[in-house]
């Protein structure tokens, strides 16, 4: 069902798409209060796709008040979990019915290869919504072991109005990671997509409404970080912010919370993720394939991207040779051509940022094993840089582009030190034929997701998030994500025949 179409079929879909342009508040599209707009462009061509409502704090206020009304009157929160599930399953079905349009819209707005949008982003988005919907009528509340004189229930309640502040690298999927558990739990959401990639979020809100999610429960406010993100972060009537993006902006949300109502903040931030390859890795072809996939999938615009190859010196040359062979399969070009696996970077600004790392390669005199060039102000070739030392910016900073740095080690202890030698701790992958070494490394590397003999982020059933400056406050995905969007309430019922004074502690 999610097989890619041909280039001609994708191009035919482009002409039929109606781009949404307005904010989505209380079940309807509406322009920004100021009437201002901003352009959203196709990064691969520079063409303007649409003029989108540029919202500000007054639009945020309106959306939050509608979300609050919806929450308080219980039009969603008080439905039985089974009823919310049924609506969310219908929502997932509508996403499925519109999968080609969503894939093309995502590709046009972000520069991502349409093949990936069609085979990964859209199906994973649908699966995420469905998975959380299916879960919600299977979660039981607890009783506490307090003895015969009381019945104590520990119940989850939806936290309230949730601000979801999203990045541009996986617009649909990051939306689903937040709204999947938030809506299933009964919360209302005010979503702020990244300014670069607003289109699919607006379309998804429209489809959610069509599926029967009541007005006011799912609102989308387009606009900039200062204009929309900050008012959400500082809002006195937002109960929680769920954020994915850079670590510096994540820090701001902690400050906003401290300066306003101590709202709960859950952050999924950057990464500088190592692939640690030991000389006893059983299949260097498999390692090469996984490292290439980890480093260059989504143009490396991925918080979990394999960014540092930390390889035992005895196998480095052979591994680099095989990596070069796999890289030949990663063609760069028009994102709407399903043959291409590397599309355009998301924006000129981001292109400049990633290019500055290629400049460092030249100024630091580092050795380029493969790639190393940018093309036409849009594309950056998949690049492998050898002999990178821990003091280099390439080793320490999140690049968010298709650049892999290579560093060698001699001993296991050295490998662990190198893997942990950054402020980040999101993901890591380990390649070895030894179970003992795999377990030792998995335990010693400080990262939220560690994969052995493969690259990945787990699936819907596994939590995703980071140690250190990669994350804060909770995890996306899995049953644990529901904890983010709920408060725990203790209800203590006296069933003794003693007086009230004796039983209240």
Ligand X SMILES: NC(=O)C1=CN([C@@H]2O[C@H](COP(=O)(O)OP(=O)(O)OC[C@H]3O[C@@H](n4cnc5c(N)ncnc54)[C@H](O)[C@@H]3O)[C@@H](O)[C@H]2O)C=CC1
Stretch binding ligand BAL (CB under 6 A), from 97-105, 169-177, 386-394, 490-498: 169-177
- φ and ψ of 311, to 5 deg: -125, 140
To the nearest whole angstrom, how small is the minimum distance from the Cβ of residue 370 to ligand X? 22
Strands 188-192 and 218-220: parallel
> SS3 for 264?
strand
Answer yes or no: 469 catalytic: no
DSSP-assigned beta bridge partners for residue 191 = 164, 220
**How many beta carbons lie within 10 A of that of residue 341, not counting itself?**
21
Strands 383-386 and 367-370: antiparallel
The alpha helices in 281-312, defined as continuous H runs, are 284-296
Q: Which of 400, 424, 431, 485 binds ligand X (CB under 6 A)?
A: 400
Query: What CA–CA distance (Å, rounded) separates 28 from 51?
Result: 18
Residue from 116, 268, 301, 457 carrying the catalytic annotation: 268
Binding positions for ligand X, 167-206, rule CB under 6 A: 167-169, 192, 194-195
| Per-residue contact flags (x/-) with ligand X for residues 233 to 272, judged by CB under 6 A | x----------xxx--x--x----------------xx--
Short-list 433, 503, 427, 430, CA closest to 464: 427
To the nearest whole angstrom, how small is the minimum distance from the Cβ of residue 280 to ligand X? 33
Q: CA 79 → CA 29, 85, 135, distances in Å?
A: 25, 10, 15
Residue 253 binds ligand BAL (CB under 6 A): no
Residue 169 binds ligand BAL (CB under 6 A): yes
Residue 466 binds ligand BAL (CB under 6 A): no
Stretch binding ligand X (CB under 6 A), from 164-172, 275-283, 433-441, 491-499: 164-172
> SS3 for 451?
strand
Across 80-117, b (16+ Cβ under 10 Å) vs e yields ebeebbbbbebbbebbbebbbbbbbbbbbbbbbbbbbb
Stretch binding ligand BAL (CB under 6 A), from 66-74, 91-99, 165-173, 382-390: 165-173
| Per-residue contact flags (x/-) with ligand BAL for residues 124 to 163, judged by CB under 6 A | ----------------------------------------
Residue 396 binds ligand X (CB under 6 A): no
Residue nearest to ligand X (CB): 229
Rg (CA), the chain: 24
Binding positions for ligand X, 409-468, rule CB under 6 A: none
Residue 166 binds ligand X (CB under 6 A): yes
The label of the residue with tokens 């540029």 reads 54
Binding positions for ligand BAL, 35-74, rule CB under 6 A: none
Q: Which of 110, 201, 244, 392 binds ligand BAL (CB under 6 A)?
A: 244
Stretch binding ligand BAL (CB under 6 A), from 51-59, 254-262, 299-307, 358-366: 299-307
Query: What CA–CA distance (Å, rounded) separates 46 from 437?
Result: 49
Cβ neighbours of residue 487 closer than 8 Å, sequence gap 6 or more: 156, 157, 158, 159
- Residue 124 or 386 with smaller CB distance to ligand BAL: 124
Residue 267 binds ligand BAL (CB under 6 A): no
Residue nearest to ligand BAL (CB): 303
Residues at the contact surface with ligand X, assessed by CB under 6 A:
165-169, 192, 194-195, 224-226, 229-230, 233, 244-246, 249, 252, 269-270, 303, 350, 353, 398, 400
């Amino acid at each position: 069902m999610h097989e890619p179409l041909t280039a001609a079929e994708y191009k035919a879909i482009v002409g039929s798409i109606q781009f949404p342009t307005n904010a989505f508040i209380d079940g309807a599209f509406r322009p920004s209060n100021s009437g201002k707009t901003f352009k959203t462009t196709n990064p691969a061509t520079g063409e303007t796709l649409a003029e989108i409502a540029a919202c500000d704090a007054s639009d945020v206020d309106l959306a939050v008040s509608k979300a609050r009304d919806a929450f308080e009157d219980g039009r969603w929160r008080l439905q039985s979990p089974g009823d919310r599930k049924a609506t969310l399953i219908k929502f997932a079905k509508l996403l499925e019915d519109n999968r080609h349009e969503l894939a093309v819209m995502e590709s046009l707005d972000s520069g991502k290869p349409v093949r990936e949008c069609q085979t990964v982003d859209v199906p994973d988005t649908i699966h995420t919504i469905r998975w959380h919907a299916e879960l919600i009528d299977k979660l039981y509340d607890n009783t506490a072991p307090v003895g015969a004189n009381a019945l104590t229930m520990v119940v989850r309640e939806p936290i309230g109005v949730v601000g979801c502040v999203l990045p541009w690298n996986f617009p649909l999927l990051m939306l689903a990671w937040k709204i999947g558990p938030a809506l299933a739990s009964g919360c209302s959401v005010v979503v702020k997509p990244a300014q670069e990639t607003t289109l699919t979020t607006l379309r998804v809100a429209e489809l959610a409404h069509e599926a029967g999610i009541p007005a006011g429960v799912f609102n989308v406010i387009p606009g900039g970080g200062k204009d929309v993100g900050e008012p959400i972060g500082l809002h006195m009537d937002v109960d929680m912010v769920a954020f994915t993006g850079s670590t510096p902006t994540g820090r701001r949300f902690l400050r906003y919370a401290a300066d306003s109502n101590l709202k709960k903040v859950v952050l999924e931030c950057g990464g500088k993720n190592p692939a640690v390859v030991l000389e006893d890795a059983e299949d260097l072809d498999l390692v090469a394939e996984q490292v290439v996939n980890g480093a260059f999938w989504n143009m490396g615009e991925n918080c979990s991207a394999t960014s540092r190859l930390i390889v035992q010196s005895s196998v480095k040359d052979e591994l680099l040779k095989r990596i070069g062979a796999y890289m030949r399969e990663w063609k760069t070009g028009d994102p709407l051509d399903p043959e291409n696996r590397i599309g355009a970077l998301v924006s000129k600004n981001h292109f400049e940022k990633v290019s500055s790392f290629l400049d460092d390669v030249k100024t630091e005199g580092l050795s380029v094993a493969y790639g190393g060039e940018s093309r036409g102000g849009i594309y950056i070739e998949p690049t492998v840089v050898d002999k990178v030392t821990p003091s280099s910016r390439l080793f320490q900073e999140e690049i968010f582009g298709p650049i892999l740095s290579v560093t060698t080690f001699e001993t296991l202890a050295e490998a662990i030190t190198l893997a942990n030698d950054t402020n980040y701790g999101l993901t890591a992958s380990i390649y070895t034929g030894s179970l003992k070494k795999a377990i030792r490394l998995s335990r010693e590397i400080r990262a939220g997701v560690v994969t052995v003999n493969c690259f990945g982020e787990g699936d819907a059933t596994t939590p995703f998030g980071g140690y250190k400056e990669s994350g804060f406050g909770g995890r996306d995905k899995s049953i644990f994500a529901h904890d983010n969007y709920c408060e725990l309430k203790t209800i203590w019922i006296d069933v003794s025949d003693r007086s009230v004074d004796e039983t209240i502690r």
